[in-house]
């Protein structure tokens, strides 16, 4: 029985470590106005949280046009 507990503990530790690490990925941001893409930005390889923050920073209103930006 002690061997089974060690195996379960090791599996839980491995699963916790694996799920807590984020992978970097190549992200892009598209900004739309009236459901038409008006601007694409290559954000490069980075973590998803960082990419979302950078893409959200492109949300803006220019000459009365409100751009909505999102990752893809």
Contact at 8 Å (CB) between 11 and 5?
Answer: no
In a domain, 56, yes or no: yes
Residue 63 pLDDT: 81
In a domain, 44, yes or no: yes
* Spatial separation of the C-alpha atoms in residues 70 and 72, rounded to whole Å: 7
Domain that residue 45 falls in: 23-72
In a domain, 59, yes or no: yes
In a domain, 38, yes or no: yes
65 token code pair: 């046009």
Residue 53 has pLDDT above 70, yes or no: yes
Residue 55 has pLDDT above 90, yes or no: yes
pLDDT digits (tens, 9 = 90+) for 4-51: 676 666 666 555 545 444 588 999 999 999 889 988 999 999 999 999
Residue 54 has pLDDT above 90, yes or no: yes
In a domain, 67, yes or no: yes
5 token code pair: 């507990």
Residue 29 pLDDT: 96
In a domain, 68, yes or no: yes
Helices and strands counted in the chain (H then E): 2, 4
Domain count of the fold of the chain: 1
């Amino acid at each position: 029985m002690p061997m089974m507990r060690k195996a379960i503990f090791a599996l839980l530790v491995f699963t916790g470590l694996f799920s807590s690490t984020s992978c970097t990925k190549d992200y892009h941001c598209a900004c739309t106005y009236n459901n038409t893409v008006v601007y694409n930005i290559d954000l490069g390889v980075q973590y998803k949280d960082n990419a979302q923050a950078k893409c959200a920073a492109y949300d803006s209103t220019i000459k009365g046009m409100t751009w909505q930006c999102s990752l893809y």
